C-alpha cells in the first residue's frame, strides 16, 4: 500500500458549483482528517466559504496557524496565498511538527479557469511533493444547463472534462432532461473512462470523490481496474490488430494501448520519457498498468504533458490474465504514432 498522502484535485468551470460543493464537504464529519487547500483568490476563499455556508448551526472553527483553520468537523482548511507547491510543503512540515492536526488526505480546489494539466505536471516535478503526496483522482464539476456550451467555447472546460476521473454533473434541477442527456452523451464521448455522478445543491457522499483512485482504502488494496476504467476485454482485438481508431471529439481522444509481453520496466522507462518529450504538448494525461519481469509486482504509471510520474509498486495485487495496458488522453495527438512508439520494443 502506497503510504503517501492521497490528493484529490477538485476543479470545474466558473459557476459550475464548486463553492456549494465545498461548503457541504467542509462541514461533513466524513471529511475528518482531511486537509483542503482553497484558492483565496478564486471563487471559494475561506471567508466566502464561511459566508456562503448553508449550515444553519453556528460554525465552530479555530485558527491554528497562518491561513489555516480547523473546523469542528475535523476538516483542516488552508487558503492558497503562495505557490501551490509551497503551500503543500508548508502543510506537510506543519503536520510533521504537530503544528496542525495530522491529516490523512488532501483536497485541492483550483480556480474555475484552471487547466489541470500544468498543475498536475508541476506537482510531479517537485521532489519533496512527490515523495509525500500522490494523486488519487481528478474530480470535475460540470453545470447541467451550461456545461455543453462551456465545453464547446472554453478550452479550459474541455480539458477539465477530458482528464477527469470523476465528473460531477451539478444543478440538475436547472436543466431539461434533453439537456442532461445531451451533456452526458458529450461527456461520454470526450472521456469514456470517467465516472459520472449527479450532485444537487452540493450534496454528495464524500466517499464518492475521495479515495476513488488507484487505492481502495476500504479494502486496503490497489484497484487498478477502477483507476484505469479501461476494460481488458479489448486485448484480444488488439492482438488481432482490429482495434478501431479512437474517435476525436473537439480534438480530444482517449484510447488504450495493449503492450506485448514479456517486458521489462528498465526498457520501457525510456519509451515513456520519449513519449512525454515527443507528444507532451498534446498529452493531457497517461495512466497505465505494467506487468514487468524486473519488478516483484505490477507497476502503475502516470504522466501529464512532459512529465512522467515515478511508478507505484502494486504489491498484493494481480489479475487472472496479466495484461499491460496504457490509457492515453490527448488533444490533437497522433494515435498511430503513439501506438507505434509504445509497442515498438
Q: Summarize pLDDT for 111-138 with one digit per residue, the tens.
A: 777 888 888 887 777 888 888 998 899 9
pLDDT in tens, the chain (345 residues): 678 899 999 999 988 998 889 888 888 888 889 999 987 544 444 555 544 443 333 446 677 777 788 888 888 888 877 788 888 999 999 999 999 999 999 999 887 778 888 888 877 778 888 889 988 999 999 999 999 999 999 999 999 999 999 999 999 999 999 999 999 999 999 998 899 999 999 999 998 998 888 877 666 677 777 778 765 555 555 554 545 666 666 789 999 999 988 889 999 999 999 999 999 999 999 999 999 999 998 999 999 999 998 898 888 776 777 889 999 999 999 999 999 999 986
Residues 204/206/209/212 CA torsion (nearest 10 deg): -140
Nearest Cα neighbor of 38 from 61, 22, 60 is: 22
Q: Which residues contact 303 (CB under 8 A, 6 or more apart)?
A: 272, 275, 276, 283, 285, 286, 287, 309
> Residues 17-63: pLDDT tens digits?
988 898 888 888 888 899 999 875 444 445 555 444 433 334 466 77
**Model-wide pTM > 0.75:** yes
Q: Are 84 and 122 in contact (CB under 8 A)?
A: yes
Q: Are 184 and 169 in contact (CB under 8 A)?
A: yes
Amino acid at each position: 500500500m502506497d503510504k503517501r498522502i492521497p490528493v484529490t484535485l477538485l476543479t470545474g468551470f466558473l459557476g459550475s458549483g464548486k463553492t456549494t460543493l465545498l461548503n457541504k464537504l467542509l462541514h461533513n464529519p466524513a471529511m475528518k482528517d482531511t486537509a483542503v487547500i482553497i484558492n483565496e483568490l478564486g471563487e471559494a476563499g475561506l471567508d466566502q466559504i464561511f459566508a456562503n455556508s448553508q449550515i444553519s448551526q453556528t460554525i465552530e472553527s479555530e485558527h491554528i496557524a497562518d491561513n489555516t483553520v480547523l473546523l469542528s468537523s475535523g476538516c483542516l482548511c488552508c487558503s492558497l496565498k503562495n505557490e501551490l507547491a509551497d503551500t503543500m510543503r508548508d502543510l506537510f512540515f506543519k503536520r510533521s511538527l504537530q503544528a496542525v492536526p495530522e491529516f490523512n488526505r488532501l483536497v485541492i480546489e483550483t480556480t474555475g479557469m484552471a487547466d489541470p494539466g500544468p498543475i498536475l505536471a508541476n506537482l510531479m516535478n517537485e521532489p519533496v511533493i512527490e515523495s509525500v503526496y500522490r494523486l488519487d483522482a481528478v474530480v470535475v464539476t460540470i453545470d447541467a444547463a451550461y456545461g455543453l456550451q462551456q465545453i464547446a467555447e472554453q478550452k479550459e472546460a474541455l480539458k477539465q472534462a477530458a482528464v477527469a476521473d470523476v465528473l460531477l454533473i451539478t444543478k440538475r434541477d436547472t436543466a431539461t432532461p434533453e439537456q442532461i442527456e445531451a451533456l452526458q452523451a458529450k461527456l461520454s464521448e470526450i472521456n469514456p473512462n470517467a465516472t459520472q455522478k449527479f450532485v444537487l445543491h452540493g450534496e454528495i457522499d464524500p466517499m464518492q470523490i475521495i479515495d476513488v483512485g488507484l487505492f481502495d482504502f476500504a479494502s486496503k488494496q490497489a484497484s487498478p481496474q477502477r483507476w484505469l476504467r479501461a476494460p481488458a476485454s479489448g486485448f484480444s482485438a488488439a492482438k488481432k490488430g482490429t482495434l478501431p481508431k479512437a474517435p476525436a471529439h473537439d480534438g480530444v481522444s482517449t484510447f488504450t494501448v495493449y503492450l506485448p509481453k514479456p517486458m521489462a520496466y528498465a526498457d520501457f522507462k525510456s519509451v515513456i520519457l520519449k513519449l512525454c518529450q515527443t507528444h507532451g504538448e498534446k498529452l493531457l494525461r497517461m495512466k497505465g498498468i505494467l506487468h514487468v519481469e524486473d519488478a516483484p509486482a505490477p507497476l502503475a504509471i502516470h504522466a501529464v504533458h512532459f512529465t512522467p510520474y515515478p511508478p507505484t509498486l502494486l504489491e498484493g495485487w494481480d489479475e487472472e490474465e496479466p495484461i499491460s495496458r496504457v490509457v492515453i488522453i490527448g488533444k490533437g495527438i497522433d494515435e498511430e504514432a503513439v501506438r507505434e512508439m509504445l509497442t515498438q520494443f
